[in-house]
Amino acid sequence: MRLKKKHFILVAVFVILVIGFWLLICFNKRKNGICQTHFKMAFIYLLENDLNQQTNTEKLEQTKKISEEVFNYAGRGFITLDLSYPVVKIKINNQNKDRLLYTDPNNLAIYLKDQGIVKEFYINNPDEFDFISIFTNFKIGAGASEAFHALLQNKVEGIGMGMRWDNSANYGSKGKLLGYNYMGDVNLIFTSEFPEERSYYMIGSLLLQETVHQWGAFIGDQDGSSGDLFLQHASGAHWSPGLNTGYDPLGGGDWQDNGDGTFTLKPHASYWWGGEGINNSLFKEVFSDLTLYLIGAVSKEKVNPILKVNYAGVLIPGTTITSEKKYITIDEIISKHGVRLCR
Ligand SMILES: [Zn+2]
């Protein structure tokens, strides 16, 4: 059937309008300094001969589902994480072992050769992920097994990470991969004192925290240091317990101003920040405006002055302290670290 001229014009006008709106949205995001807001992550299950292979893979699939839910709830509609890609199993054998693992000859502790592992992943999987999370079925390192985040590049200026840099090529990515998480030994993660469902939420919470280390907390000074802008925990990379972030995944408290010079830590469901533990629907961890600003998901106008009290201790809900009342503004942060910029 021939398209009538009138129809053609209508379609053309519609297409122009759609493109116009799209350009307008892009322009507005640029103007407000909004960076990337949608992220993709893949899971690697690195395993030595594993009798529970099938069960562990299924549990990791479930972990992925819950982690996506936890992350997207925390993102408050400003950032989202797509974890739909199936768990990628990498089996260690005699051919690839030397590329993937390193054994310390002194104490026989096993370490990851992270470049080798990520490159192995790219042999059969596309370079379309912003993050990769690695799980093992064996212990890593000589001490207690701990999760961590490794930055492979930084695309955002003004967040205390220096200028833009990119090391992703050494991992086999063409500038896409931002960083990876090591999440731990599945035998420890899934053999906990908690019910299975709750372990998924705990891992989801851990994944939230490790992933957001891509952007923080690197601004300001550490509690107890000789600085003047005390935003960080004394050990660095997390928010100071005295910073009123609403129990952000990166740390900080949720302080109630009692109006008489005292402040009390509010209750919270999160396992990590001193709450009762994660109880599925009770789980309400969200990113603070300041953290979303570092990620590049909200403009500086969205970040209200943040209450800072004098407290550097453990976050135990119900704790009451006496403190002066101070606010830290986004302009103070910008004058110390520069304007947040991204490409
Ligand atoms: Zn952390």
Residue 46 CA to residue 88 CA, distance in Å, equals 8
| CA 77–ligand 1 middle distance (angstroms) | 23
Q: What is the mean pLDDT of the chain?
A: 89
Of 251, 246, 122, 134, the closest CA to residue 189 belongs to 134
Q: Is the pLDDT of residue 173 over 90?
A: yes
Buried b (16+ CB within 10 A) or exposed e, 22-56: eeeeeeeeeeebbbebebbbbbbbbbeebeeeeeb
Neighbours of ion ligand 1 (CB under 5 A): 209
Which residue is associated with the tokens 């054994």?
A: 103
| CA 93–ligand 1 middle distance (angstroms) | 32
Domain ranges of the chain: 38-212, 221-342
| CA 232–ligand 1 middle distance (angstroms) | 12
Q: Is 68 helix (H, G, I), strand (E, B) or coil?
A: helix
**What phi and psi, each to the nearest 5 degrees, are found at residue 266?**
-75, 160
Q: Is the pLDDT of residue 192 over 70?
A: no
| CA 234–ligand 1 middle distance (angstroms) | 13
Q: How high is the pLDDT of residue 271?
A: 54
| CA 205–ligand 1 middle distance (angstroms) | 11
| CA 181–ligand 1 middle distance (angstroms) | 11
Residue 80 CA to residue 22 CA, distance in Å, equals 19
Q: Do residues 204 and 63 touch, judged by C-beta distance below 8 A? A: yes
| CA 235–ligand 1 middle distance (angstroms) | 10
Q: Do residues 286 and 295 touch, judged by C-beta distance below 8 A? A: no
| CA 58–ligand 1 middle distance (angstroms) | 26
Q: How high is the pLDDT of residue 281?
A: 45
CATH number belonging to the domain at 38-212, selected among 3.40.50, 1.10.150, 1.20.120, 3.30.70:
3.40.50
pLDDT confidence band for 15 (50 / 70 / 90) = confident
Residue 72 is classified by DSSP as: H
Which residue is associated with the tokens 């005390």?
A: 230
| CA 175–ligand 1 middle distance (angstroms) | 25
| CA 171–ligand 1 middle distance (angstroms) | 23
Q: Do residues 181 and 203 touch, judged by C-beta distance below 8 A? A: no
Q: Report, in this order, helix, strand and coil percent for the chain, each rounded to 5.
A: 30, 25, 45
Segment 256-298, tens digit of pLDDT? 999 999 999 998 766 554 555 544 444 578 999 999 999 999 9
| CA 211–ligand 1 middle distance (angstroms) | 9
Task: Compute CA 24 distance to the chain's CA centroid, rounded to the nearest angstrom.
Answer: 29
| CA 213–ligand 1 middle distance (angstroms) | 7
Which residue is associated with the tokens 């939420």?
A: 201
To which H or E segment does residue 134 belong? strand 131-136
Residue 94 CA to residue 49 CA, distance in Å, equals 12
Annotate 3-51 with DSSP letters as a single string: PPHHHHHHHHHHHHHHHHHHHHHHHHHHHTT----EEEEEEEEEESS-T
| CA 239–ligand 1 middle distance (angstroms) | 10
Segment 109-140, tens digit of pLDDT? 999 999 999 999 999 999 999 999 999 999 99
Cβ-based burial of 117 (10 A; exposed 0-12, middle 13-18, buried ≥19): buried
Residue 315 CA to residue 248 CA, distance in Å, equals 12
| CA 238–ligand 1 middle distance (angstroms) | 6
- % pLDDT > 90, the chain: 71
In sequence order, which residues have a C-beta less than 8 Å from that of residue 132 and are 6 or more positions away?
A: 41, 42, 43, 44, 118, 121, 177, 180, 181
| CA 148–ligand 1 middle distance (angstroms) | 7
| CA 174–ligand 1 middle distance (angstroms) | 27
| CA 209–ligand 1 middle distance (angstroms) | 6
To which H or E segment does residue 262 belong? strand 262-265
Q: Do residues 90 and 45 touch, judged by C-beta distance below 8 A? A: yes
Average pLDDT on 236-259 reads 95
pLDDT confidence band for 63 (50 / 70 / 90) = very high
Q: Is the dihedral of CA 126, 131, 137, 140 positive or negative?
A: positive
| CA 210–ligand 1 middle distance (angstroms) | 6
Tokens standing for 146? 């701990």
| CA 87–ligand 1 middle distance (angstroms) | 24
